[in-house]
Structure 1
């Protein structure tokens, strides 16, 4: 799994974007201060939590772009993160959880 974090815009405190190998998806998470809990944060956007939900880096970047200034080479970085995991496979317990959570 990779995770790259950027300073947020438009009221967001941070934006995380990366590759989740077990779920085979890119992900985006945007946080902002929680108006009801002082000192806490709430999730504004959280995509890429389902199996193969975001299949390209471009999809994840499009979701994150309104919330942070992203580097021009981010797509290449995320694709490199994905490629580095191609030879990896799920362990026994990880595979069982995926079968339970995402039955065919």
Structure 2
């Protein structure tokens, strides 16, 4: 799995923005955290996509989720693509395969 913490844009309402690649789910993911009364500094993930197998199939799909909230580095799409390619051929371990069967009734 990879994870990139992006710089939130001023006045976007976000306090943290994250994108990355999740090899077990074979999807990119995107998260936007906004402040809450209970946790004004850490916030809550008010946007979180990429929790289902294959939900965000490309780096561009993940970036599109967060582009209004964060500054996007010029190399982010290629970095995410490289992260995915680096995990090609890696198989799930016993516990990952078992968890997928329980959650998704499959071996995605």
Q: In which range does the TM-score fall when normalised by the shorter chain? A: over 0.9
In 2, Cα distance between the equivalents of 1:52 and 1:63? 15
User: Within 5 Å, which residues of 2 pair with 1:2-41?
Assistant: 2-9=2-9, 10-34=12-36, 36-39=37-40, 40-41=42-43
Aligned pair count reads 103
Aligned to 2:100: 98
Q: Secondary structure at the match of 1:31?
A: strand
Instruction: In structure 1, list runs of 5 or more residues that go unmatched.
Output: none
Q: Whole-Å Cα distance in 1 between the matches of residues 64 and 24 of structure 2?
A: 22
**CA shift for structure 1 position 38:** 4.5
Separation in structure 2 between the aligned mates of residue 7 and residue 58 of structure 1, nearest angstrom: 17
Deviations 1:5-47 (Å, cap 9, x if unpaired)? 012120101110000000000000111111x215441112100
Match of 2:75?
Answer: 73
Q: Distance in 2 between matches of 1:60 and 1:44?
A: 15
Task: Work out which of the residue numbers 59, 65, 82 in structure 2 matches 1:57.
Answer: 59
- For normalisation by structure 2, the TM-score amounts to 0.89
- Structure 1 moving runs of 4+ over 2 Å: none
Aligned Cα root-mean-square deviation (Å) = 1.2
Deviation at residue 64 of structure 1 after TM alignment = 1.0
